[in-house]
Structures are given as structure tokens and as C-alpha cells.
Amino acid sequence: MKPAAARVFIASGITVMLAVVAWWQPALAAPAVLAAGALWAVLGRLSSDGEWSRPGAVDRDDALERELRGFLDDMNESLNAEFRQIRDDLGQIRSLVTDAVQQINASFVGVNEKTQEQSELAERVMQTSSEDDADGSLGIRQFVNETESILENYVEMVVQMSRHSVDAAHAIDDIVSQMDAIGGLLQDIRGIAKQTDLLALNASIEAARAGEAGRGFAVVAEQVRVLAEQANTFNDQIAEQVSSARGIIDHAKSSVSEMASQDMNESLNARNRISTMMQDLEALDQRVDQGVARISALTGAIDGHVQDAVRALQFEDISTQLLDNSAKGVDGLDHYLAGIRGVVAEVTDDAAGADYARRLRDARTALAQQREAREQERRSLRSVSQSDMDAGDVELF
């Protein structure tokens, strides 16, 4: 390749690179245009001064071409490294922001749903505790009222039963006393009747022996016999009284037994009602426990959604670090372009025809030093490797 064509080719390549830099970072458009203009000005000066036609110019041109190509390759490598880093950081930021926004939206939707479910469940628990269910099961308030009513009835029933039992016991005691007295009277009456019969028999015998003289005595004996008959009649009446007393006793026993039977039935019914209410209360407690457990689980789920939302909100810190890193990369590009401007300025201002190849080598050395400093700066920064918001601990701001 001819020296002029080579220089034009190299200058064109550098100009294209500067155009790419200006397009990628508008803030660097002015320095890029300045650098391109200066480069073309140098080439114009060399052409006008006949630099390419003087003796030995070919060798210098070849060396200068090699240095320019090397400088161009180094610049291309440095710019490409910065562009790759910037593209990676921007892609990582885009992924982080997208994932964070999706997680925030899902978390707050979940919090809203769980909060509504928790509110509805709490309302159902309160309604179950304060009202009767449609299927007849008891609420706590009704259970208390019903239990109080049953206890009052039961106490009244026990009092009445006790009163009746005392009256019945007194009546039975009185009847027993009367029966004992009647039994004694019956014994006495029987004794009198026997003696009367004996006296009447003896009187009749003695009257028969006395003949006419014992006629009056026979009348007395007849009267005694009449008394004996009356005594037997009286004995029969007493027997009737005893039988009547026994009927009273039997009636009293029947009344007491019936009362006791009724009291027992009421007690059994009351016990069954209490047992049913206790079962309803146990079922109510179970429902309340299940509701409370569910509320606790919902609270844990809400806490998890909140933690996800807080963690997702930390994308700002991570994105800031990546953006800062990209900004430093842009600053590095600015330093590279400043180096180009310096080299071009030296070439443009050197009227004595200095060694351009040496200056390009110096520029390449400075460029390599800048690139190494940039690499060390990248390594010294805290590395951010996340591209989503699924990992990491929650750190409150």
C-alpha cells in the first residue's frame, strides 16, 4: 500500500471510530469532531509539505503506518472493552429493573389479596362468636343465656323436690305413728273381746244352774254378749280405718315415686341439653382455633410478600452501582480521546518533522497504562453480579 493511501486509510478508520464514540455518547461528540479534524489537518499538512516525497520518507512512512495501525488496534481494543462493559451493565440494569418491578407488583397484589382474605376470615370468626348459625348450633352468648336458664330451672326443681320430699316424709311418719297406735288398740280390743266372751259364757252357765233365781243374771249375761258383739263391730271399723290408712300410705308412696321419677327425667333431659351445648361449644372453639391458625398463616404470607417487596426495592442501590461503573467507563473513553487529541496536537504543532513513530509508541504506551488503570479500577469496585431480585437478604433503608 502506498504511504499516502495508507495514511488516508488509517485516518479514515480513526474517524469512523470517533464517529462511533460520538454516536454512542453524545456528550463526547465535540471532542470526537475536534480529534477527527486535527487528524485530517495533519495529513493535509504532510501532503502539502511534500513529506511523503522526501528521501527516506518511505521508511518513515512504513514505520509510521505500523505505529498508526498499532495505535488504532489498541484504541479499538480499549473502546470495544469499554463498550462491552457498558452494554453488559445496561443490560444488567434493564434485567434488574424489569424483575424488580414485576416482583413489586406481584408482592403488593399478594399483600392485597391476603389482607382481604384475612379481613373476611376475621369477620366470619366474629360473626360465629356472636350469632347463632343457621343450622341451630349455639353461639357463645346464647350458650351462656341457655346455661343460666337451665341452671335456674334446675335449682328451682331441686328446691321443689326437696320441699315435696320433706312433706311426704312427714306425712309418712304421721301415718306410721297412727298405724302403730291403731295396732295397739286392736290388740286391746281383741283382749277385751276374748274376756267378754268368757264372762258371757260363765254368766250363762251360772244362770242356768241357778234356775229361777239366776234369771236376772241371765239378762246381764245377754247384755255382756251384746257388748261383745259391739266390740267385734268396733274391731271391724278399726280394721277398715287401718285399711284406709294403708291406702293413704300407698298413695303417698305413689306420689313420692312419681315425683322422683319426674325429677329424674328432668335431670336427664337437662344433662342431655348441657352435653349438646358443650359439643356445640367445642365445635365453635375448633372453628375459632382454625380461624386463628389461618390468620397466623396469612400474617406469615403477608410478611413474606412485604420482604419480597422490600428486597425488590433495593434494585435502586444495585442499579446505581452499575450506572456509576458505566459512568466511569465513559470517563475512561474521555481520557482515551484526550490522549488522541494530545498526540494529534503534537503532530500538528511540530513544524520540525519530529519522529511521529516514537510519539505514536509513546501514545500507545500511555493508552496501555490508562487501560491497565481502568482494569484495576474495575477490580477495586464492589462487584455486582445480580441480574434479578430473587437472591439476597432484605436490607431496610
Per-residue model confidence as pLDDT tens digits over 126-148: 666 555 555 545 556 666 667 76
Asked whether residue 366 carries a pLDDT value surpassing 60, the answer given is yes
Average pLDDT, the chain: 67
Query: Nearest to residue 11, comparing CAs of 49, 34, 31, 38?
Result: 38
CB within 8 Å of 222: residues ≥ 6 apart: none
Asked whether residue 159 carries a pLDDT value surpassing 70, the answer given is no
- State pLDDT tens for residues 73-110: 776 676 777 777 777 777 777 777 778 777 777 777 77
CA angle at 178 for the pair 176 and 180, rounded to the nearest 5°: 70
User: Are residues 151 and 227 part of one domain?
Assistant: yes
- What pLDDT, on a 0 to 100 scale, did the predictor assign at position 173? 72
CB within 8 Å of 283: residues ≥ 6 apart: 137
User: Are residues 156 and 177 part of one domain?
Assistant: yes
Please report, rounded to a whole number, the percentage of residues in the chain having pLDDT higher than 90. 0
Band of pLDDT at residue 42, cut at 50, 70 and 90? low
Let me know if residue 210 belongs to a domain: yes
Let me know if residue 292 belongs to a domain: yes
User: Are residues 341 and 213 part of one domain?
Assistant: no
User: Are residues 290 and 189 part of one domain?
Assistant: yes
- What pLDDT, on a 0 to 100 scale, did the predictor assign at position 338? 65
pLDDT average, residue stretch 104-129: 73
HEC per residue, 193-245 = HHHHHHHHHHHHHHHHHHHHHHHHHHHHHHHHHHHHHHHHHHHHHHHHHHHHH
CA–CA separation, 253 and 258 (whole Å): 8
User: Are residues 294 and 158 part of one domain?
Assistant: yes
Asked whether residue 353 carries a pLDDT value surpassing 60, the answer given is no
Let me know if residue 353 belongs to a domain: yes
Residue 327, phi-psi category: left (phi > 0), alpha (psi -120 to 50), beta (remainder): alpha
Asked whether residue 120 carries a pLDDT value surpassing 60, the answer given is yes
Residue 395's Cα: distance from chain center in Å? 23
Let me know if residue 396 belongs to a domain: no
CA–CA separation, 230 and 197 (whole Å): 12
User: Are residues 186 and 64 part of one domain?
Assistant: no
Indicate the number of domains in the chain.
2
What is the separation, in whole angstroms, between the first and last Cα of the chain? 63
From 307, 335, 358, the end of a domain falls on 307
Give yes or no for a contact between 139 and 129, defined as CB atoms under 8 angstroms apart: yes
CA–CA separation, 163 and 150 (whole Å): 20
Give alpha helix (H) positions in the chain.
3-24, 29-48, 57-130, 140-210, 215-312, 315-349, 356-380
φ/ψ of residue 235, rounded to 5: -65, -40
Give yes or no for a contact between 314 and 395, defined as CB atoms under 8 angstroms apart: yes
pTM: 0.40
User: Are residues 121 and 74 part of one domain?
Assistant: yes
CA–CA separation, 181 and 175 (whole Å): 10
Domain that holds residue 354: 3-128+314-380
